[in-house]
Copies of this chain bind each other. A is one copy, B any other.
Amino acid sequence: MWLRSRVYRQLEASAWPGRGLSPANLFLAVLIVGTVGAAIVETEPLVARGRELLFERMEIIVGAIFSAEYLLRLWVAVENPRFAKYRFPRLRYAVTPIAIIDLVAILPALFAVGGAQTLVLRFFRVLRMLRLAKLGRTSRAWDQIRDALYERRFEFALILGLLAIAMLISGSLLYWAEAGAQPDKFGSIPRSLWWAIVTLTTIGYGDTFPVTGLGKFLAGIIAIIGVMLVALPTGLFAASFTEGMQRHRERAQKKPSADG
């Protein structure tokens, strides 16, 4: 029990008595950043060619460490007061999102051994990026931004809906105007939607754009409205942050006067 309690304090960030990260979590954070970095460069043929075995062994070792971490976290879950009240604390912990991510993040290492097919192999390589989510455990700062966005979720959903309708209408109008001149790019509404997204987000790759007079006229009006629409979420974020800071400051100002 004494060992379990010690391991728990090492692994659970909120239970660590010292400042910053515990040695175990610091090691894991460095390992995560390193293994994600390795997973990125491994996909580049110019780097990976001739080093396939090296990367494969590295992945097996990393997988073993993450497996050990997962089992240890499962073992010490009973120490966490959040889960201790349940009948099966370890099972309760195992179904939390972060524990599921931990489990999924081990999978790519298991499949590193067998020579998988290209598409499946690439999928597991992308899955390794998920290990970044494990970093979320080490910081509480994300919670603040998440809360700020959560508080205004109805407004953001509304703006997303507005954006979706604007894209649908824009795409439909350009389909009407350009389908005859460019059937491969505007020949259906789903195809025109690609143009609408690329235009209303102001990315403008230049792979699809109207060429007819009517199409350019409609696209011009849509572009100007699009700039305004894209300004809506920016304005809402700005207002949310402004309100958040102000509330924070007001609370800070009230405290000293309450003492006096």
- Report chain B residues within 8 Å CB of A232: 237
A237 to B230, CA, bound (A): 11
Considering only CB atoms, which chain B residue lies closest to A36 in the complex?
B168
Interface membership of chain A positions 160-184, coded 1 if the CB is closer than 8 angstroms to chain B and 0 otherwise: 1011010011001101100110000
Copies of this chain present: 4
Question: Is A75 located at the chain interface by the 8 A CB criterion?
Answer: no
Interface residues of A in 218-244 (CB under 8 A from B): 220, 223-224, 226-228, 230-244
A191 to B213, CA, bound (A): 9
A202–B203 Cα distance when bound, in Å, is: 4
- Is the C-beta of A123 less than 8 angstroms from some C-beta in chain B? yes
* Interface residue from B206, B230, B245 paired with A243 (Cβ < 8 Å): B245
Q: Which of A137-188 contact B (CB under 8 A)?
A: 141-142, 145, 154, 156, 158-160, 162-163, 165, 168-169, 172-173, 175-176, 179-180, 187-188
B239 touches A163 (CB 8 A): no
Among B122, B123, B180, B239, point to the contact of A245 (Cβ < 8 A): B239
Residue of B nearest to A46 (CB): B188
> Which residue on chain B has the smallest CB distance to residue A48?
B188
A122-B175, A197-B220, A220-B193 as given contacts; A242 in contact with B238, CB under 8 Å: yes
| Contact indicator A190/B126 (Cβ below 8 Å) | no
B interface footprint on A197-208 (CB within 8 Å = 1, 0 otherwise): 111011111110
Contact of A243 with B240 at beta-carbon distance under 8 Å, contacts A123-B176, A201-B224 already known: no
Complex contact A158–B145 (CB within 8 A)? yes
Taking CB atoms and an 8 Å cut-off, the chain A residues in 2-23 that contact chain B are none
Q: Nearest Cβ distance between residue A236 and chain B, in whole angstroms?
A: 5
Residues 66-106 of A contacting B (Cβ, < 8 Å): none
Residue of B nearest to A216 (CB): B194
Residues of B contacting A126 with CB < 8 Å?
Answer: 172-173, 175-176
User: Given the complex, which residues of B lie within 8 Å of A156, measured CB to CB?
Assistant: 228
Cβ of B201 and Cβ of A201 under 8 Å apart? no
Docked-complex contact A241 and B239, CB < 8 angstroms: yes
Give Cα A234–Cα B230 distance, bound, in whole angstroms.
8
User: Chain B residue with minimal CB distance to A41?
Assistant: B190
Q: Is A65 an interface residue (CB 8 A)?
A: no
State whether the Cβ of A249 lies closer than 8 Å to any Cβ in chain B: yes
Mark contacts of A246-260 with chain B using CB atoms, 8 A cut-off: 1 yes-contact digit, 0 otherwise: 100100000000000
Q: Does A50 contact B (CB under 8 A)?
A: no
Contact across chains for A179 and B227 when beta carbons are under 8 A apart: no
